[in-house]
Structure 1
Amino acid sequence: MLLDANALPQDARLHADICIVGAGAAGIAMALTLAGSGLDVIVLEAGGQEPEPRTQALYEGTVEDAALHSPLDRYRQRQLGGSTTIWGGRCMPLDPIDFEARPYIVGSGWPIGPEDLAPYYPAANAWCEAGDYAYTIDEAFAGPRKPMLEGFVETHFSTHTLERFSCPTDFGGRYLQRLRTATDLRVILHANVTRLEMDESGEAIRHVEARALDGKAFTVAAGSVVLAAGGLEVVRLLLNSPGRTGRGVGNAHDVVGRYYMCHLAGTIGNIVLAPPRRAWHGYDVADDGTYCRRRLALRAEVQREQGIGNFVARLHHPRITDPAHGTAILSLLFLARAFVPYEYARRLHGDERVTVGAWLRHGLNVLRGVPSVAGFLWHWLRERTLAARKFPSIIVYPRSQRYSLDFHAEQEPNPESRVTLGTSVDELGMRRLHVDWRYTRQDVATVQKSLALLAADIRDSGIGEFDYDPGEVEREMTRYGAYGGHHIGTARMGDDPRTSVVDRNCRVHEVRNLYVAGAAVFPTSSQANPTLTLVALALRLARHLQARHAGGEPADPGSPA
């Protein structure tokens, strides 16, 4: 059922078997998996069903370098559904190499392996509404597909794997009716958790303290508490509660908030194909109707040989800000930049200064290409704005076979890249966050070596040239700073409490009834967007909690059906 903290009696004392803090992808998937299991579950969601500026402002904080990290109230939403209300829907599982302890990636190695998540990935795929769990060309398509790059010899890179796209599914909207009707599940909106109160032993959470912005305060006592509030807010909740040591709950070894990762992303160079070679950089539609896209994926054996992290790349349109591309659609996007959401405008336009003359040339591009603009707008209206399963992104087919390269790479876990408490407080009296995101020379090497290998593959295949400036690689990979809303590693999983926050079952090492769900627990970032894997981990945690509370094992790993 759906409740509101403002309607609760002042100082109410609620009780449940399990209390989940946060109703995003992880929290909602867990809650509905536990529904009907015989356990009483409470979910505390800080926001409402719609965006609320006053609530969103609680996410504000500070960053050490504004050029390297977005404001903390961007790329995450304090409302039912969390960041799934704004995500792009890209899904893919981690690669087996991502779980390995790699000597060239400091801090790498998961305490679980791909076999531990394999039973939960198909169900996670269903929760994300990304179609069948099929992430290779052979699995997803009944017949042959046109090659991504004609004549490309896959020496160091493969074009065989896919990324699949959710609708994109807003978990708060899509599963709202089930949240409302579940009789053993209480979802309390506008419930801002302000403190995790320990018991006398200092080894368990006695209760969770929560408040509504308008003053209502209440507590929830539960046998198990799960923090599913996102990779940044989990840190704030842990550090704003003193815990047994006074340094924050779960922070006896000063690990909470360290090893903060996002992804390394950028757009660089020009790929020019030699006629008659052709490229396919658009979306394929799988046999189940899901949009899929191929990419150039660095082979695992090459990563080991070269001593670098995971890396993928996609063919991309020319840089939008330069009107020399002569493409009406790209110039239209540039001129309409004020209407593009912040989360996407930054990647589309970057931080380049554009002259008045360039603005005029963009306008001429649009005027010369009115028919193509009209076709693009009609396609966008039909396949994106009005469609239930939306066309994932802008695809522009250049008149010449000339593309830029969009890359997405793994970031090395670094204990000096961290999230801490700042000096200011929010409306509820909680200290806000301060982010000091950092990258390493290993991160630069991953991108530099991967690009060089790709250039060699294209040249040696005899299909064209990939021209880029190696001296610009670091600038391009940090142009957008920490990429997007991928807040990873701040409460990392491991067997050693001195270098991790939670164990292999996502339980905080020093608190016997406190768990963390979400990308915060990832020890490494992979090249993959985190949503599919964090949902799979949440389903695995739900199964663990059912067993822990002797509520019975689920019939399957937690499918939404």
Structure 2
Amino acid sequence: MILSADTIDDGTELPCDLCIVGAGAAGITLALQFLRSGLRVVLLEGGGLKPDAAAQALYRGEVADPDLHPPTDRYRQRTMGGTTTVWSGRCIPFDPIDFAARPWLGQDGWPIAYDEVARWYPAANALCEAGDCTFSAAAALPDGMRPTIRSFAPEGFDTDRIERFSPPTDFGARYRARLAASADVRVLIGANALELVTDPDGSTVRRVAVATLAGRCFAVAAGHVVVATGGIETARLLLASRRHRADGVGNAHGLVGRFYMCHIAGTIGTVKLHVPRDYVWSGYERAEDGAYCRRRWTLSEAAQRHHGVANGLLRLHFPTIPDPRHGSGPLSALYLAKPFIGYEHAKRLHNRGGGAGTWLRHLGNVAREPAATAGFFLHAVRHRALAARKYPSVIVRPPGNLFSLDYHGEQVPNFNSRVSLGRETDALGLPRVHLDWRHSPVDIRTAEVALSLLDGALRRWGRGRLDYDPAGVAHHMLRDGAYGGHHIGTARMGATPAAGVVDTECRVHGVHNLFLAGAAVFPTSSQANPTLTVVALALRLADRLKRSLAPARVA
């Protein structure tokens, strides 16, 4: 059932077997595994069924360097479904090397094997509705996917890897009816977790203190508690639970909020290809299951080891939109429309200047390509705005074989990159977050190596070239700051309390009934978007909890 938290009387203590805090991808995935369990499950969601400005304002906080990180209330949604209400739907598994020890990076890797997560990817892919769990270009279509560039196989890259796309699935909307119909799972919306109240010795969470914006206060007393509120809010709740320890819950070694990672991303350079137009394909293809798929060039394990870098990928991309020299009517129309495009989707447009001369040149591009511009927007309406399975992103074939490169790379864990509590409090009295996002030299070095490898491969091939300024890579990768909504690593998994906040089962070290779900527990960030792995780990945790809670009662 789904109820408003304002229907709960003040001072009430709700008993349950399992309390899940947060109804995003991880929390809803967990709850779905207990629909007919015979257990009493409470799922707390701070937002409502639809976006609400007052609830969203609870995400506001401080950013140490606004040029390097978006405002804290951007790229996250405090509503049923969480950030799946606005995500792009990109689904990509992590790579085995992401879990391995990488001495050249000073990293011990994950304390669990890759297969421990990989075996849950098929079920996770199904929940995300991204089609078959096949991430090979050769196997995704009956005859294989067409190559990005025919007869070009750049050394140092795996060119068979693909990304699949969810419709994208809004977990709140898609799975709401199942949750509402369950007699075992009670969803409380507008229920904001304020504190994890433990025993004085911190070994057991006795209850979760909850409040609503309307002023109701109550508690949930659970045998087991899972916090699944995202990489930023998970750290915030643990740090703010200071009744018995000034440093919060699970923070005996000062690791909560540390190692905060996003991804390093940017567009750079000019790729000019001297091949027939039909030799190049940088867009999407649809698999037989309907999912959109796209190739990418991913740094091979051998290249990462040889060059001493992290994981990363490159894609062919249309030229930089704000620069009217691309001559594309559709791209210029997008630039001119930036006042009407949401922050999350137009950040790369809003972060650039452009006087009257720039606008006039963009208008000229639109005037020269009216048919292409109109066709682009008609495609966007038909295949994105109105389609159940949406075309994933903007794909524009620029005039001539002229492209830029889109880079998306791993950020290595950095102890000094962190989420902490700020000086101000929100409307519920909870300290707001303070974000101090920091990158490391190897993050930029990885991008530099990827570009250098592709540059060399194109030169040897002899039918294309990459023009870019090697000295300007850092500028382009950091121009828009930390990448979007990928908030990772603030309560990392470690084999011992000194190495991580949670153990190999995602249980907080030293607190026997408290578990964490979501990207907060990732020890590394990979080159991949986190959602698919978030859902896979949530399924793994649900399996663990089923066996622990009541094996005889769980279907």
Pick the TM interval, shorter chain: over 0.9
Cα RMSD over matched residues?
Answer: 1.2
SS at match of 2:224: strand
Specify the alignment match of 2:467 in structure 1. 467
Confirm or deny: 8 A CA contact 1:37 1:551 kept in the other structure: no
For 1:263 and 1:552, locate their aligned partners in 2 and report how far apart those are by CA, in whole Å: 43
Aligned residues: 554
**Residue identity opposite 1:322 in structure 2:** D
Confirm or deny: 8 A CA contact 1:151 1:461 kept in the other structure: no
Confirm or deny: 8 A CA contact 1:153 1:461 kept in the other structure: no
Q: 1:339 to 1:307 in 2, by over 3 A?
A: same
Confirm or deny: 8 A CA contact 2:202 2:249 kept in the other structure: no
Confirm or deny: 8 A CA contact 2:314 2:450 kept in the other structure: no
SS at match of 2:538: helix
Specify the alignment match of 1:498 in structure 2. 498
**Residue identity opposite 2:505 in structure 1:** N
Confirm or deny: 8 A CA contact 2:38 2:554 kept in the other structure: no
SS at match of 1:104: helix
Q: Which residues in structure 2 correspond to 1:406-425 (within 5 Å)? A: 406-425=406-425
Specify the alignment match of 1:558 in structure 2. none
Specify the alignment match of 1:136 in structure 2. 136
Specify the alignment match of 2:283 in structure 1. 282
Specify the alignment match of 1:292 in structure 2. 293
For 1:554 and 1:268, locate their aligned partners in 2 and report how far apart those are by CA, in whole Å: 52
**Residue identity opposite 2:389 in structure 1:** R
SS at match of 1:23: coil
Confirm or deny: 8 A CA contact 2:264 2:482 kept in the other structure: yes
For 2:466 and 2:49, locate their aligned partners in 1 and report how far apart those are by CA, in whole Å: 47
SS at match of 1:499: coil
Specify the alignment match of 2:477 in structure 1. 477
Tell me which moved more, 242-251 or 113-122: 242-251
For 2:237 and 2:61, locate their aligned partners in 1 and report how far apart those are by CA, in whole Å: 14
Offset of 1:9 from its aligned partner?
Answer: 1.1
Specify the alignment match of 2:442 in structure 1. 442
Offset of 1:350 from its aligned partner?
Answer: 5.2
Offset of 1:445 from its aligned partner?
Answer: 1.2
SS at match of 1:541: helix
SS at match of 2:104: coil
Encode CA deviations 1:83-107: one digit per residue, 9 max, x unaligned: 0001000001000100011012234
**Residue identity opposite 1:394 in structure 2:** V
Confirm or deny: 8 A CA contact 2:161 2:296 kept in the other structure: yes
For 1:223 and 1:133, locate their aligned partners in 2 and report how far apart those are by CA, in whole Å: 35
Offset of 1:276 from its aligned partner?
Answer: 3.5
For 1:76 and 1:272, locate their aligned partners in 2 and report how far apart those are by CA, in whole Å: 37
For 1:182 and 1:485, locate their aligned partners in 2 and report how far apart those are by CA, in whole Å: 31
Confirm or deny: 8 A CA contact 1:311 1:446 kept in the other structure: yes
Specify the alignment match of 2:49 in structure 1. 49
For 2:315 and 2:521, locate their aligned partners in 1 and report how far apart those are by CA, in whole Å: 28
**Residue identity opposite 2:316 in structure 1:** L
Q: Which residues in structure 2 correspond to 1:147-546 (within 5 Å)? A: 147-242=147-242, 244-276=244-276, 278-347=279-348, 349=349, 351-546=351-546
Confirm or deny: 8 A CA contact 1:266 1:479 kept in the other structure: yes
Structure 2 runs not aligned, ≥5 long: none
Offset of 1:138 from its aligned partner?
Answer: 2.3
**Residue identity opposite 2:320 in structure 1:** R
Confirm or deny: 8 A CA contact 1:350 1:480 kept in the other structure: no
For 2:552 and 2:419, locate their aligned partners in 1 and report how far apart those are by CA, in whole Å: 38
For 1:108 and 1:169, locate their aligned partners in 2 and report how far apart those are by CA, in whole Å: 34
For 2:121 and 2:552, locate their aligned partners in 1 and report how far apart those are by CA, in whole Å: 21
Q: 1:288 to 1:503 in 2, by over 3 A?
A: same
Offset of 1:243 from its aligned partner?
Answer: 5.6
**Residue identity opposite 2:385 in structure 1:** T
For 2:552 and 2:94, locate their aligned partners in 1 and report how far apart those are by CA, in whole Å: 29
Offset of 1:144 from its aligned partner?
Answer: 3.5
SS at match of 2:443: helix
Q: 1:373 to 1:114 in 2, by over 3 A?
A: same
TM-score by structure 1 length?
Answer: 0.97
Specify the alignment match of 2:19 in structure 1. 19
For 1:85 and 1:425, locate their aligned partners in 2 and report how far apart those are by CA, in whole Å: 26
Encode CA deviations 1:427-469: one digit per residue, 9 max, x unaligned: 1111000000000111121111111111111211222111110
Specify the alignment match of 1:6 in structure 2. 6
Offset of 1:399 from its aligned partner?
Answer: 2.1
Offset of 1:108 from its aligned partner?
Answer: 4.1
For 2:50 and 2:448, locate their aligned partners in 1 and report how far apart those are by CA, in whole Å: 43
For 1:521 and 1:550, locate their aligned partners in 2 and report how far apart those are by CA, in whole Å: 25
Offset of 1:153 from its aligned partner?
Answer: 2.7
SS at match of 1:11: coil
SS at match of 1:237: helix
Tell me which moved more, 145-154 or 262-271: 145-154
SS at match of 1:442: helix
Offset of 1:40 from its aligned partner?
Answer: 1.3
SS at match of 1:374: helix
Q: 1:380 to 1:334 in 2, by over 3 A?
A: same
Confirm or deny: 8 A CA contact 2:421 2:431 kept in the other structure: yes
Offset of 1:554 from its aligned partner?
Answer: 7.1
Encode CA deviations 1:237-286: one digit per residue, 9 max, x unaligned: 00111164321100011000000000000000011111337311010111
Offset of 1:28 from its aligned partner?
Answer: 0.3
Encode CA deviations 1:292-316: one digit per residue, 9 max, x unaligned: 0001111111111111000111111
**Residue identity opposite 1:18 in structure 2:** L
Specify the alignment match of 2:37 in structure 1. 37
Q: 1:257 to 1:342 in 2, by over 3 A?
A: same
Confirm or deny: 8 A CA contact 1:203 1:244 kept in the other structure: no
For 2:268 and 2:88, locate their aligned partners in 1 and report how far apart those are by CA, in whole Å: 22
TM-score by structure 2 length?
Answer: 0.98
Encode CA deviations 1:470-523: one digit per residue, 9 max, x unaligned: 010011111111100000000000112112100010000021110100000000
Encode CA deviations 1:161-192: one digit per residue, 9 max, x unaligned: 10000000000001110010011000000000
For 1:39 and 1:477, locate their aligned partners in 2 and report how far apart those are by CA, in whole Å: 48
Tell me which moved more, 276-285 or 61-70: 276-285
For 2:77 and 2:297, locate their aligned partners in 1 and report how far apart those are by CA, in whole Å: 31
Specify the alignment match of 2:547 in structure 1. 547
Confirm or deny: 8 A CA contact 1:267 1:407 kept in the other structure: yes
Offset of 1:526 from its aligned partner?
Answer: 0.1
Confirm or deny: 8 A CA contact 2:154 2:458 kept in the other structure: no
Tell me which moved more, 74-83 or 365-374: 365-374
Specify the alignment match of 1:559 in structure 2. none
Tell me which moved more, 113-122 or 400-409: 113-122
Confirm or deny: 8 A CA contact 2:21 2:227 kept in the other structure: yes
Confirm or deny: 8 A CA contact 2:200 2:244 kept in the other structure: no
Confirm or deny: 8 A CA contact 1:90 1:163 kept in the other structure: yes
Q: 1:24 to 1:296 in 2, by over 3 A?
A: same
**Residue identity opposite 1:32 in structure 2:** L
Confirm or deny: 8 A CA contact 2:58 2:427 kept in the other structure: yes
**Residue identity opposite 2:159 in structure 1:** T
Structure 1 runs not aligned, ≥5 long: 556-561
For 1:248 and 1:145, locate their aligned partners in 2 and report how far apart those are by CA, in whole Å: 50
Encode CA deviations 1:331-353: one digit per residue, 9 max, x unaligned: 10000001111111013x15221
For 2:488 and 2:108, locate their aligned partners in 1 and report how far apart those are by CA, in whole Å: 13
Offset of 1:287 from its aligned partner?
Answer: 1.7
